[in-house]
Amino acid sequence: MLASIDLTPLVDWSRAQFALTAMYHWLFVPLTLGITWIIAMMETIYVKTGDPEWKKLTKFWMKLFGINFAIGVATGIIMEFEFGTNWSNYSWFVGDIFGAPLAIEGIMAFFMESTFIAVMFFGWNKVSKKFHLASSWLVAIGANLSALWILVANAWMQNPVGTSFNPETARNEMTNFWDVLFSPVAVNKFLHTITSGMVLASIFVIGVSAWFLLRKKESRMAMRSITVASVFGLLASVSLALTGDGSAKQIAEVQPMKLSAMEGLYNGKTEAGLVAFGILNGKEKREAGDAFALKIEMPKLLSWMAYGDPKHFVAGVNDFTKGNASQGIMSIPEKVKNGKIARQTLTDFKNAKAAGNLVRADSLKAMFSDKAFIDGNFKYFGYSFEDDVNYYVPNVPLTFYSFHIMVILGFGFMVFFALFLFFSARGELPQRTFWLKLAPWIIPLAYVASEAGWIVAELGRQPWTIQDLLPTVAAVTKLDTGSVMVTFFLFAVTFTVLAIAEVNIMLKAIKNGTKNEGGTK
């Protein structure tokens, strides 16, 4: 089609630019989400015990948080501007919905977070211990509330609820704020994301503390930090697994194509097994049903985890592309046909109104409030922009491998926390040099797992900016492709410089340890 020929390079570069910004931004966000809780807990211990060593600990980790937070804000602001510059059609189509949680995030959560950060950093010896402690907890709450509203907006893109389409403006409008806020997809996404931040922050604290122990510096500080982070991380990693299971169930319900890509499942089956490890075949073999060159599978577990029934049918990629009448699954060509009816109805409404034929215009407008039309046609509005069946299949290999890397590392982190907690409880940590040497290298793996999770979430739902309603080809701003390419490389250089600067500043702060942190009130 014309769209796929003319706009593919523009869409690809626009997606690449947004992905670049989002992935760099996410290098900073999870540490912010998690370490604020650890800082607040350490300060609570300080206030309860009066031990000045806990104050030094709190201020040390607070310093690292501040470095990370400042650069994270810069990348986040750029990403929000890209909605208007690169994805203006998307912003127009859903601005009434998507803008609301982002506005609340800025007015309420970010304002609270940024206000109490000032007290948190500069209020030592100026406000009471309890007020300062309250400020630290409010920073942690504010940071995670910011994540809540952003994730609510993202969850709506994955599962658009609580809204209706207005043919007069050709925009989606919010009809029920609470449906948007408390969507099961939003709840699971929020809980899974913040617990992943807690896990990453705990690994960061343990890794840095292990470095101190190896060099026999700040040993008392390091031991205390590892104990707190191990307990916090172990609890968070268990919660992460539980919320991940909840997210998988939601994906099975509202984004089943994504689930198929996550598991490399092409031909649906009952009693579907969960792939613990696998190597995919090439595209032709996969589409023919021979998906794996090698796999280790746990029988019936996918059916049970996704639907609570080990005998439940789990649809595969081919079921969605070609259809499966026995399972009530509509093929993509059928969805394209129904979506085009919805789009043509909108065009006819606009033409009738422009021609002054108000009777026909009102009749056509009423169809967008008719449940049968919404469920049968408008539900597939987004399919009207592209006929090619393959366009609607996400990148299966990247989604599959990202998902399994995330899961394998997630369970590995659980073992990591349990071991460090065990060694810490027995007072054996200084002698466990192998694990101490390993710990700093686990930090980059935590970032890999975190980024992999977002690759699954976002790449697994492609080509949709809004599931089934707006594909990327219809959401993109009609810019010159060359200008997007130029800004992509400018951002790549800028973000890389920022990341290198942050790492260098962090390393310098870590090497200085707590020697510049006062231990008295």
pLDDT for 76: 79
Write the single-letter amino acid at 171. Answer: R
d(CA 21, CA 39): 28
d(CA 221, CA 200): 20
d(CA 153, CA 180): 8
d(CA 69, CA 199): 17
d(CA 100, CA 78): 19
Would the CA dihedral through 301, 307, 311, 314 be positive or negative?
A: negative
Burial class (CB in 10 A: 0-12, 13-18, 19+), 149: buried
pLDDT for 520: 40
CA-wise closest residue to 318 among 391, 393, 382, 383: 393
CA-wise closest residue to 90 among 485, 389, 385: 385
Counting Cα atoms < 13 Å in the Cβ hemisphere of 110 gives 16
Would the CA dihedral through 198, 200, 203, 205 be positive or negative?
A: negative
d(CA 241, CA 424): 24
Counting Cα atoms < 13 Å in the Cβ hemisphere of 365 gives 15
CA-wise closest residue to 115 among 140, 135, 137: 135
Per DSSP, the chain holds a count of helices (H) and strands (E) of 20, 8
pLDDT for 35: 96
Q: Do the beta carbons of residue 432 and residue 423 sit within 8 Å?
A: yes
Given a cut of 50, the residues of the chain with pLDDT beneath it are 1-4, 519-521
Omega within 30 of 0 (cis) for the link into 463: yes
Task: Name the H helices within 467-480.
Answer: 472-475
Residues 6+ apart with CB under 8 A from 442: 203, 206, 207, 413, 416
pLDDT for 192: 95
Task: Name the H helices within 215-326.
Answer: 219-254, 256-263, 283-287, 301-307, 317-322
Would the CA dihedral through 139, 142, 148, 153 be positive or negative?
A: negative
d(CA 45, CA 201): 19
Write the single-letter amino acid at 115. Answer: T
Q: Do the beta carbons of residue 472 and residue 11 sit within 8 Å?
A: yes
pLDDT for 103: 81
Counting Cα atoms < 13 Å in the Cβ hemisphere of 199 gives 33
Cα dist from 37 to 223, 359, 385, 466, whole Å? 18, 60, 46, 33
For 280, list phi and psi in degrees, rounded to 5.
-80, 150
- The structure tokens listed for 25 are 């931004």
User: Length of the chain, please?
Assistant: 521
d(CA 258, CA 261): 5
pTM of this structure: 0.91
Q: Do the beta carbons of residue 136 and residue 145 sit within 8 Å?
A: no
pLDDT for 2: 41
